[in-house]
Chains A and B, each alone.
Chain A
């Protein structure tokens, strides 16, 4: 069953508003460390996740709030994680860059660029060996395509016919280094030819196009071979909260904002499907209520006790860690 455009609009808006709230909480000092916002790229997560099944696996990056929310993770648990609370999805050990939910087969945010890709290949290998027809969807950026781990993993997945969906979120920048300054071949989907991996490029600012392309890709992958999907997208915000954005012009950012996946879809829905301002306001209200509840949950949640510091290093306490 296809997701309705209106439902996808709301999901994108939910991610956008959530992250806007995160940015505020960051400024206020409640969230610390790195915070990489996905604002502008929401259509990729929302469109792609709808093409996956619950039993499929997801591997993501440090820019994964959108993926986590679109995968169905609890917003309160995500916010609490960023607040460093015991009730966070990773019990305060992970923070913004390391969200996990094993129950949703959301196998985490990886903050070493391309570091999650070999893990995704392994998850797919387990599925193949156990005769399960699951897909492992692996999200990464354009910058990751320059890493050796990407190329090793692509070759291995092709060689062993592993069900991995390589989903490249090409937002044209690796931190401050523009695509044409870090890739000899800027059509990233062409790169997989040498590995014999089928690929496609899709407008990552169009949620329905992403959904359709991901579904086509997943159909291929589920039959037992990898696929590379390049989604062309753009982040409207800085790379992270630490980025002064010296490497691109305001004009460029504004030009991309005109393609805002939320703005264009809501305009289209108003024109073609009779979406009203009242509908939008209701959406906004519901989202704000959920966010307020998530923030309240995060604020009210207890901190993990430092008595628990050595927990989760290994399954059982190690001898040496028990020593003074």
Chain B
């Protein structure tokens, strides 16, 4: 049995453990040191490990992500924090053209054992430039791994597991999860399997990251109405564990995907496509998607709520699915 802690503290504990255990590990990013991290994740680590290993960078996303790639090739173990996914767009060249390609372009000579973490997602009234959910874009890219921890245990464990990977691992931490409390189990986690977070017989709700708490809430509400929903937490967007997804759909025959990204070209679209490609005969009806509305994220709270997937939207999708059956 584990201890109760927050998602934020679980990541901090994981960072601390990594820094203690391996002198080659260092953390770098904007305001990770003196400031303590934009989300206070790395608070206290500068004092404990010093400015060389908890390294504040200039506002140069491309340079410090690229430097992380070079440093990883050069034999150290960087953990790069990009403040948020919104700013990671300035480093996309380094990610897409270098981190993801070097092993392949070099015919296997050069690997990039790099961990990049960043906050993602909306729901905090940050408006259109600070609310993106673009982890699905990263999942498009072969050559990197994409982790989306949704629990305290995964927040801790996925970072540890990422540091054992010989390839770049991108960890997307949904910003609304940082204060979330949960039970921390420090045993090793893997970076290949999805997890069933709630068993159910009537339908499968597939989700990840910041949408997991909402989806679990929706499942509880459905239970009150006598509908038994299974909840699958993808955990990894690349590689994607379709065995777990299809195993669940084989039991429930109905599926909806909850994804905070815009519907068009969303990761939910990928999951839906694979379910019908690989499990068409398992289905009793169409695979539904609960996504954000196709609008830049508005600031006003009621508008933002209307744009993001809400528990009610998940319930509506579930009812539609169950209705299909009757």
Chain A positions within 8 Å of B, measured between CB atoms, are: 57, 59, 88-94, 98, 100-102, 107-108, 110, 112, 115-127, 129-130, 136, 148-149, 152-153, 155-156, 159, 311-316, 318-321, 323
Contacts and interface: CB of A to CB of B under 8 A. Distances in A.
B69 A119 contact: yes
A115 B103 contact: no
Contacts of A120: 70
Contacts of A101: 109
A116 B94 CA distance: 9
Contacts of B238: 318, 320
A155 B67 CA distance: 12
Given A91-B107, A319-B239, A319-B240, A126 B143 contact: no
B110 interface: yes
Nearest to B68: A122
A115 to B, nearest CB: 6
B66 A117 contact: yes
B67 A118 contact: yes
Given A156-B58, A319-B241, A100 B105 contact: yes
20 contacts: A57-B74, A90-B105, A90-B109, A98-B105, A98-B106, A100-B106, A102-B106, A107-B73, A110-B97, A112-B98, A119-B66, A122-B78, A126-B75, A136-B70, A152-B63, A156-B57, A312-B107, A313-B103, A314-B166, A320-B238
* 7 A-B pairs with least C-beta separation: A122-B70, A118-B66, A126-B74, A91-B107, A152-B63, A122-B67, A100-B106
Interface string B184-207: 000000001000000000000000
A31 B97 CA distance: 23
A155 B72 contact: no
Given A102-B109, A119-B66, A159-B58, A313 B98 contact: no
Contacts of B67: 118-119, 121-122, 125, 153, 156
A115 B105 contact: no
A90 B107 contact: yes
A134 to B, nearest CB: 9
Contacts of A122: 66-74, 78
A320 B94 contact: no
A110 B97 CA distance: 9
A90 B97 contact: no
A116 B218 CA distance: 47
Contacts of A92: 107
A318 to B, nearest CB: 4
Contacts of A130: 24, 74-76
Contact of A126 (B73, B98, B167, B240): B73
B102 A156 contact: no
A152 B230 CA distance: 48
A93 B104 contact: yes
A112 B99 CA distance: 13
A190 B145 CA distance: 42
B248 to A, nearest CB: 16
A149 B74 contact: no
Residue from A91, A312, A319 whose CB has the most chain B CB atoms within 10 Å? A312
Contacts of A98: 105-106
Given A129-B52, A312-B103, A312-B108, A152 B62 contact: yes
A127 B274 CA distance: 45
B156 interface: no
Given A115-B97, A123-B74, A313 B143 contact: yes
Interface string B41-85: 000000000001000011010111111111111111010000000
Nearest to B75: A126
Given A118-B69, A152-B60, A155-B63, 16 more contacts: A59-B70, A93-B106, A94-B107, A108-B105, A115-B94, A115-B98, A119-B66, A122-B72, A123-B73, A124-B74, A126-B74, A152-B62, A313-B104, A313-B142, A314-B145, A318-B239
Nearest to A109: B105
Contacts of B57: 156
Residue from A91, A119, A156 whose CB has the most chain B CB atoms within 10 Å? A119
Contacts of B107: 88-94, 100, 312
B111 interface: yes
A115 B78 CA distance: 19
A119 B108 contact: no
A320 B104 contact: no
Contacts of B241: 319
A149 B24 CA distance: 26
A7 to B, nearest CB: 28
A118 B71 contact: no
Nearest to B55: A160
Contacts of B104: 93, 312-313
Contacts of B94: 115, 118-119
B211 to A, nearest CB: 21
A156 B192 CA distance: 36
A125 B74 contact: yes
B242 interface: yes
A282 to B, nearest CB: 35
B306 to A, nearest CB: 34
A100 B105 CA distance: 8
Contact of A156 (B52, B60, B240): B60
Given A98-B105, A100-B105, A313-B142, A129 B71 contact: yes
B312 interface: no
B172 interface: no
A200 B244 CA distance: 60
Nearest to B99: A119
A98 B108 CA distance: 13
Contact of A118 (B62, B110, B111): B62
Contacts of A323: 242, 278
